Structures are given as C-alpha cells and as structure tokens.
Chains A and B, each alone.
Chain A
C-alpha cells in the first residue's frame, strides 16, 4: 500500500460509505446483508492479520473477542427503545466503544498470561480461551445463556460497516508502517534477535492482541446489529477458523491480500449458499438439485486450506517469500 495517500484513501472510503448510506434503503435486504458480512469479515481478517500476520502469533480465538463485543454492545443498545436518528447513532457509537473496549480488555486478560508461549502452544491456548468465553456466555443468564440473545435494533448500515472497515484498515496499516510498528514485524521475524535489540517482545505481543481484540469487538457490534440474534455457539471455533483462512489465503502480513481474501471468501460462502437454494435447474428433475452444497461448503473450505498450504503456503496474493 502506498502510504503517502493513505489518509486520502481513508477519507475517500469514509465519504463513499456515507454516500452508500443513501442508497442503502434502495438495495434489497439480502445483498445488503451480504455487504455487511463483507465489511465485518474485512474488519475481522485485517485485525487478526495484525496478530497472526504481522506479529507472527498464531491466535485461534478471534471469534471469542467478537462475541464479547457483540454481547456487550447488544446489552447496551437493548436498554433503549425507539430513538430518533441522532440519538440512535450516538447510542450506537457508545455501544461501539463499549464493545471494542470490553473486547480489548478481554484481549489484555488473555494476552498477559498466554503470550509467553510460542507457536502451537499459543494456538491451542487461544483456542481454549475462545471456548472458555463461549462456555461463560452459555452460563450467563443475563444474556440469555444457551438460548441466545435477541438484539432489538437493526442499526448496522453501510456507513457504519464500511466506514469502520476503512478506519480499521487505516489504523492497522499505519500502525505497522510506523517506527513503533516495526517492532511487531521484528517479533515475527526473529523473536530472540528482537529481544536482543531491546524490544520488549511481550509488550508488543500483548499490544497486538489488545488492538486486534478491540477491532474484533467492533466487528462483533456490527454483527450483533445486523443479524439481530446472538447465540454463544455462533461464536465457536469454526468462526475463528473462517477468519484464519482469510488471513492465510490473503498472505500473512499482507493487508491488501487479506482484504481481497475476506471479500472473496464471504462471496464464495454466500454464493454456495445461494446455489444450494436454487429451486430448479434445467436437466434436473429433483427440487433444489444443489442442496448438497449447503453441507459441502465446509468441505470445500477445508480442502482449500490443505491445498493452499501444500502449494502456496505464503498465500494467494503474496508474490514471493521475503529473503531472510
């Protein structure tokens, strides 16, 4: 990404998503829902990329942070009844901050004890934390427990979704391009050398975790106010894997690639679902001849992951491996 124009691009994206707001009412609900999902996936994948790609810490619990953000913000907005446009957006903004901060706090709590671990241990522990968050939510009656929590307000719109996606991309891209941010990459490239150079590796890892978790919380808040129904099981291990696949497909530490992967995979997912729902196809006598795609899409996902690792472990959109 060319960085001199980053701010212009950010402002342009914000303006575009604001304009999109006025067309939002004219788009039917399904494409709108898909575009919200794309925006949420971008935020999740780009923020996970900070942890997994730039800092080189393999986290498998990103959906847990999303769950914290989604539930926190939903609990806040559910306190309010019908509001006018201005107050609704003000409350929504507060819920956004609260969701993000709650997730960031969880990130801190998870990060401090676990980030002394490396590689595969860290992967398992983050997975474990994701599961613990899920189990805790299941046992919290205040948020509906295993029955789930319905969200009263459908406040997610194109402006919030893509505006926040643009902000996420801007913040994370400028962070890793800053002098301070070089530390993340140093931790990834060689932890021992980075430590010897006086970089506080644990601090960098925890920072990456907190920032990543904050944006995951924001994505959770968008998700809560577009699907309008939250269940603890919806934020399981599988969801975390979806975002991990986006990061890997895009190429770890390649923001543009990760954004493209997030868009493509969300569309692939929705496309397979749409194909499975086709009622009739010429040449087929049965109804919904492609309904098996509904079950097959996870098989396709997993095969994609295996084949990708065997053939292009650096990701689809990374041209070559940097020489070490």
Chain B
C-alpha cells in the first residue's frame, strides 16, 4: 500500500506536467482545429530558458530560494509566450486558409527546426539543471517518502489551472477565446479580433508549456534539446484522452496518463513505459474518439 501511494505521488507529479502541456495542445486545437506539433519543443525551450536564466537571476535574487524560483519560472514563461506568438505569426498564420495538412506538416517542420537548432545552439549533450528551489525530503506517515519538489510541481500546476480557468471564464479575452473556438466567422462578425485572440491563445499555451518545462527540470534535473518529443506526444495523447478542445479534459487526461505510466513502469515493466501512452491513445480513439469529456462532433457535408 505504501509503495502504491508512493507511485501515485510520482504519477501525480508527472501527470501535472503532462496536464500543463496538454492544455496548450487543447487550446490551440479548440481555436484552430490543428495539432501544434511544435508544442513539445516549446516545453523544452522553457526548460532551457530556465537553465540560462538561473545564473542571471542569481545577481538579483539568491538561488535556490522561493523568490528566485518564482522569478525563473515567470521569466521563462514570458520568454516562451513571446516565442509562441512569433511561431504562430510567421509559420502558421500565412497558412490559415490552406488545408489542415499543410499546417500540420509546417508544424512538424517547426518542431524539427527547434529540436535541431536546439542541438546546434545548446549542444546535444544533456545539461544539469541548477537548483532553483530549496528542496528537502518530506517523510510522513507510514514510511512514505517524497520530495518537496514533487509537492511544488503539483501545487504550482493547481495554481496555474485555477489562473487559466479564471482567464478563460471571467475575462474579456477569455470570452473572446471561447467565442472564436465556438465559431470563428461569427465571432469575427461580432467584432472579435480573431488574430489577436489566436496570438493570445498561443502565448497562453506556450507559457504553460514553459512552466511545465521548468517544473520538469526541477524534478528531473537533466535537460537536453530532444527532451520535449516524448512528453509532447504523451501530452497530446492526454489532450485526446480528455476530449480535445476541452480544458478540464486535458488536465484530467494528463493526470491519468502520468499515473498510468508511473504505475505500469513501477509494477509491470519500465521498458514498455513509452508505449503505454500510445496504447491508451489507440484504445481511446477506438472506443470513444471524442474523449472522456469531449462532445461528439458530426461532420457535415
């Protein structure tokens, strides 16, 4: 039982990170009906932004410290938000009227570009992420042992989810996002500037991915330019699992994938770990293609 709870906490930490990435996929899909393949690489860039920022931030704030950690997290999020806007502006916006496949291929191109340019600029060898938060083991009841960082990951994810929910449901921009996602033409006719809304969506999604990147690096401190591929794909699976286009679904899907993967590698076999997410994907697409919380869409002629 102790071991199970232990695995559950590990799974929740991993699942929170996947949930943050999945939200970016699902938001962009909800608005543009297109899978932003490069999203996993924005996650990687978030981690690297944190890596290069940490030495600069030590000049102002001490590291590891809570304030310093928050500063690293916030600045990486801002950098990646800007990056997400730039990617959308130059790679995706010119193609908005083209078939979806064209955009998908471009997204694959952007993803490959970020990975390979990353290897070129940062070097292919894994780097050690600096300690930006004071971490200490927490031992509680029944011999359960976990690290404060895991709690930080789960807590920060929770806060970001609440913030996102507030933005989407309570602000003008959030209402515009929902309107564009519901019907872009009608929203444009009602005076919503769809270009701004789409840019904002990319900024928001990329910021969440960057947060996931930094949180991932805090928990698993070895980062490399290809680290975004698998979490990116798994997060996409999470988004599909929860029902793509559905925000609570993406968070739920992320948690489910993270926990399942951790339990499988803990109890069955760790070598098959990377195949689990794809197995879940195939299963969900066969049984309930609209996802756990998604609405069924009927294609019209």
- Partner-B contacts on A (CB < 8 A): 58, 113-114, 117, 119-121, 123-125, 127-129, 131-132, 135-136, 138-139, 192, 237, 241, 244, 248, 292, 295-296, 298-299, 301-306, 309-310, 313
Query: Interface size (B, Cβ < 8 Å)?
Result: 46
- B163 contacts chain A at the CB level, 8 A cutoff: no
Those 3 A-B pairs whose CB atoms lie nearest each other, nearest first: A128-B278, A305-B109, A302-B112
Q: Which of A135, A136, A244, A298 contacts B105 (CB 8 A)?
A: A244
Minimum distance in angstroms from A301 CB to a CB of chain B? 7
Taking CB as reference atom, which chain B residue is nearest A314?
B102
- Given A121-B285, A310-B94, A310-B95, A302 and B109 contact (CB-CB distance below 8 Å): yes
Taking CB as reference atom, which chain A residue is nearest B101?
A58
Report yes or no: B275 in contact with A132, Cβ–Cβ below 8 A. yes
- B91 contacts chain A at the CB level, 8 A cutoff: yes
Report yes or no: A310 in contact with B106, Cβ–Cβ below 8 A. yes
Secondary structure at the A interface, as helix, strand, loop or mixed, is: helix
C-alpha spacing A114/B278, complex, angstroms: 12
Q: Which residues of B contact A136 (CB under 8 A)?
A: 275
- Partner-A contacts on B (CB < 8 A): 34-35, 91, 94-95, 98-106, 108-113, 115-117, 119-120, 124, 229, 233, 236-237, 240, 269, 271-272, 274-275, 277-279, 281-282, 285-286, 289, 299, 301
- Given A58-B101, A120-B34, A305-B105, A129 and B113 contact (CB-CB distance below 8 Å): no
- Beyond the given A139-B271, A237-B229, A295-B116, please list 16 additional residue pairs across the A-B interface where CB-CB is below 8 A: A119-B101, A119-B104, A120-B34, A121-B289, A124-B35, A124-B233, A125-B285, A128-B277, A129-B278, A132-B275, A301-B116, A302-B112, A303-B109, A305-B106, A305-B112, A309-B95
Secondary structure at the B interface, as helix, strand, loop or mixed, is: helix
C-alpha spacing A305/B106, complex, angstroms: 7
Report yes or no: B113 in contact with A114, Cβ–Cβ below 8 A. no
Taking CB as reference atom, which chain B residue is nearest A193?
B301
Taking CB as reference atom, which chain A residue is nearest B116?
A298
